[in-house]
Amino acid sequence: MTTRRELANAVRALAMDAVQQANSGHPGMPMGMADIAEVLWNDFLQHNPTNPKWFNRDRFVLSNGHGSMLQYALLHLTGYDLPMDQLKRFRQLHSKTAGHPEASETPGVETTTGPLGQGLANAVGFALAEKVLADHFNRPGHEIVNHHTYVFLGDGCLMEGISHEVASLAGTWKLGKLVAIYDDNGISIDGEVHGWFTDNTPERFEAYGWNVVRGVDGHDAEAIKKAITAATSQSDKPTLICARTIIGFGSPHKQGKEESHGSALGKDEVALTRDALDWRYPAFEIPAEIYAGWDHKKAGAEREQKWHDAVAKYTAAFPELAGEFNRRIAGELPSDWAEKSQAFVEKMQADAPDVASRKASQMTIDAFAPLLPELIGGSADLAGSNLTKWKGSVDAGNGRDPKGNYVYYGVREFGMSAIANGLALHGGFIPYDATFLVFSDYARNAVRMSALIPAHAIHVYTHDSIGLGEDGPTHQPVEHLASLRYIPNNQVWRPCDAAESAMSWKLAIERKGNPACLVFSRQNLKPQQRSAQQLADIARGAYVLSDPQDTKFKAILIATGSEVELAMEAARTLAQQNVPVRVVSMPCTEVFDAQPLEYREAVLPGWCRARVAVEAASADFWRKYVGLDGDVVGMTTFGASAPAPQLFEHFGFTVTHVADTVKRVIG
């Protein structure tokens, strides 16, 4: 009969063989956590290898993602569509076994991990999603949403500050179906961690409000099983299982040492490890009895079918709720969404409210949220400034309100954004989060992960320029718009008025599976007049807002956000001086850049080289649009502390300066 240790040794062998063949990777953690993984995946994890997207599956997250071969070995052995050929191509171009797990590449990987701590944050998002979705849909005797989130993490995850942010929230929210297993091996890249990591981790998590299981032998299957049973037998608190392991377990000369952490063991050491583990099989060879001990295809299909049977009974009892549930988990927008959302955009154009775009954003949320029960939002302790709360906001984190739709994140920008990624990846929700644009710096790596994974998270940023005034340069964003725009697959919208604000929200919501950043002003923005075609062309990222009448323009002014109004005023001034100018509003450069050449040429014709971009942010970003013959009215320094009108004048955001710049460019 196959023993647990033999099953775990299959994971160890695959990990060290794949890393050795690639001559790159991290064999130590997979070898150290193999016993824990074997117990979790064989005795507890509810999943279906033949359908990795079965909705009520348990979520498994490898926060210490450098140990990716652990997850790849588990997926392969349990029957996911990850054949041995892919393990042999570990870390190679176009393989499904990247250096760190990627959700877009590998079936069974729930989220892309690698930046330490963010997997834990995503897992908190998964667990929050399960809790809130269960509150929305479960009824007595009908628990169609009922699953756990398991996350493996290591010393590095716990050293990262984001672990504090999200663990604190998980305890506050009482996410009882979240189980974190800490690989306490005492080793990081630089060696034994006692020289730089002396936290009392159990007491730290108990202070957060977690249930902590201490002192578990990570190589004793029965001890591991007992700990996980204790974790899943209670639902009042998230659980941290502190499992003491030996990194590189089985390697005669490298176990327990940093040498096994981030590099191949070496051919000789691999051979010695095979002997030490009594693993008598060649590289990448797994005997049939080992595969049989790991196979979960039949059991997984039975689990899913049992759930479908439960959903069928639920549907018979609650047909309307079931219809809504199925729509949401399928990621489909309501059937009346397109019509009603467009009607609101048109209303914002017709009503033309003279408000800050952050207020226009709130007005849009007020209109869209009742149409979208899956919309779940929050702010990093700035709801009154970001204006992200709407009339129907109900606290989703504390309590068990079936109408919960708003998350109070506290001052935790990084954790907030990474949790939003988890909410999006879980399914059933479209999350948005919010802070000041300048504090996107705190969250930027999570925003980058939104685009890389990708995850349909909407990141809302207000107080978007020096226009926020007296708070000064610490709070005035300069380089932030450019930084966010440089993230591949990220859409950054900076609308100039209420209509563009509403359209940006509509398009962000409709951007299935991908993120967007919506950037709004503190100060009021004058509404702009548009034709129906111009209103529609907002969705193309840039469009001609104004052209001179009865004459050919000599220059093009390109602007976003609050500077569109300035560009329009400058164009009128120039017209009085017989200098006809086109004004282009470009709320989203990424969307415009993706338009067909014919459209881009129609908006920014190549023959007109006299171009001036105007944005109260980093000037250098705009050089690609204005070229060598054009110029930019932008920021090249930090801001200053003063009322906004004084700042705009001081930094050259005036009609006179813009007009003079245009005339100089025309030459």
Which residues are identified as catalytic?
413
- Residue linked to tokens 């504390």: 398
The answer to whether 454 is a known ligand-binding residue is no
The answer to whether 100 is a known ligand-binding residue is no
The answer to whether 58 is a known ligand-binding residue is no
Residue type, 618: S
- Give the integer Cα–Cα distance in Å for 599 and 595: 6
Going by C-alpha positions, the residue among 506, 395, 377 that lies closest to residue 434 is 377
The answer to whether 66 is a known ligand-binding residue is yes
Residue type, 41: W
The answer to whether 176 is a known ligand-binding residue is no
Contacts of 172 (CB under 8 A, 6+ apart): 208, 209, 397, 398
Phi then psi for 144, rounded to 5 degrees?
-85, -15
Phi then psi for 362, rounded to 5 degrees?
-65, -40
The answer to whether 211 is a known ligand-binding residue is no
Burial 639-654 (b: 16+ CB within 10 A, else e): beeeebeebbeebbbb
The answer to whether 116 is a known ligand-binding residue is yes
The answer to whether 26 is a known ligand-binding residue is yes
The answer to whether 566 is a known ligand-binding residue is no
The answer to whether 475 is a known ligand-binding residue is yes
The answer to whether 155 is a known ligand-binding residue is yes
Task: Report DSSP state, residue 518.
Answer: E
The answer to whether 385 is a known ligand-binding residue is yes
Contacts of 272 (CB under 8 A, 6+ apart): 251, 252, 253
The answer to whether 204 is a known ligand-binding residue is no
Which residue blocks in 511-544 are alpha helix, DSSP H? 532-537
> Where is 440: in which H helix or E strand?
helix 440-452
- Give the integer Cα–Cα distance in Å for 541 and 589: 6
> Where is 213: in which H helix or E strand?
strand 211-217
Tell me if 541 sits within 8 A of 503, measured CB to CB: no
The answer to whether 266 is a known ligand-binding residue is no
The answer to whether 358 is a known ligand-binding residue is yes
- Give the integer Cα–Cα distance in Å for 71 and 102: 11
Residue 398: CB atoms within 10 Å: 12
The answer to whether 657 is a known ligand-binding residue is no
> Where is 612: in which H helix or E strand?
strand 611-618
The answer to whether 331 is a known ligand-binding residue is no
Residue stretches of the annotated binding site for Mg(2+) = 155, 185, 187
Residue stretches of the annotated binding site for thiamine diphosphate = 66, 114-116, 156, 185, 261, 439
Residue stretches of the annotated binding site = 26, 66, 114-116, 155-156, 185, 187, 261, 358, 385, 439, 463, 471, 475, 522
Residue stretches of the annotated binding site for substrate = 26, 261, 358, 385, 463, 471, 475, 522
